[in-house]
Amino acid sequence: MNDTSHILPPIILMYAYEPNCGSTMLSTHIISHLLYQQKQILSVDLTPKQRSLTHYLENRKRYLDKRNISLPIPTHMVVTAGQLQTLSQTGSEELLSHFKEACPDADYIVIDGACPSLPLAALISGMAHSVVIPFICPNTMEEIAPLIGSFAQQLPDTNASRPYPLFIANRIPASFKKPISSKKKEQDSILTLGFGFNERSMYHELFLRGLTLSDIFAEKSGISVDLAYVAARGELNLLMHHIMQHCLHTNLQV
């Protein structure tokens, strides 16, 4: 495979080993965060049947049209079932041309829907600058290390220049206690483990409207900020901190 990473805009790939781990919800918030930084984003949906990211953007368009408001929207493409098979055989150059055709001026490409059974997974994993692996958070911190070890053994090792993937514990149960680490421990672990969102019904409600927390706090969505959103904002800030640290490690700036 040819190394095309030097001519690609930074690719952030969501690679899910578990169903229902909330990878699309994380993708939507990463995309929205970048959009509010005035970045051009190409969002890519690798699930032609489920189309979770695509449904979110369709919900967003309906919400905006109904209320006659304007919120930032990425350029979006869905990789069809036929393309999944064809591109996995033709290689990275063909895939790159699809990305460039969809959004020539993209600052970032955020890809949702990669999984081990996907024909294109190994190819895109090798092209990605940052691979983010969300998983359903267990009840205790002690249970996380075996999960990460299991996932890491299965990840295609196709890009030696890419750092270790960022694992995101997501859908965090109320009983889970996040570790309080020293600065040294945080520096040692921040590039491998981060935390996503608590298990909150509001995230499902936001998805159905095609919104994110960034929209709420930009005060452009028509939804008032309440205490629940304020609490969730801390989760978003922590998530983006982990993403930024991981991307900076690959000489990207999110």
Whole-prediction pTM: 0.89
Using DSSP's 3-state secondary structure scheme, residue 132 falls into strand
Q: Could you count the other beta carbons within 10 Å of the beta carbon of residue 9?
A: 19
Element (H, E) at 147: helix 144-154
> 167-202 burial by CB neighbour count: b if 16+ within 10 A, else e?
bbbbbbeeebeeeeeeeeeeeeebbbbbbbbbebeb
Q: Which residue has the tokens 């970032």?
A: 108
Give the pLDDT confidence of 45-75 residue by residue, as tens digits. 999 889 999 999 999 999 999 999 999 999 9
In percent, how much of the chain has pLDDT > 90? 55
How big is the chain by its Cα radius of gyration, in Å?
18
Select from 77, 57, 106, 107 the least CA-distant residue to 215: 57
Q: Which residues contact 102 (CB under 8 A, 6 or more apart)?
A: 42, 75, 77
- 245 vs 161, more confident: 245
- 33 vs 81, more confident: 33
**The pLDDT value given to residue 252:** 57
Reported as a pLDDT band with limits 50, 70 and 90, residue 182 is: very low
Strands 11-15 vs 41-45: parallel, antiparallel or unpaired = unpaired
Handedness of CA 188, 234, 174, 131 (dihedral sign): negative
Q: Which CATH superfamily is domain 5-249 in?
A: P-loop containing nucleotide triphosphate hydrolases (3.40.50.300)
Domain boundaries, the chain: 5-249
Secondary structure E strands in 155-197: 166-170, 193-195
Q: How far apart are CA 53 and CA 26, in angstroms?
A: 10
Give the pLDDT confidence of 115-169 residue by residue, as tens digits. 988 878 888 888 888 899 999 999 999 999 898 888 877 776 555 555 578 999 9
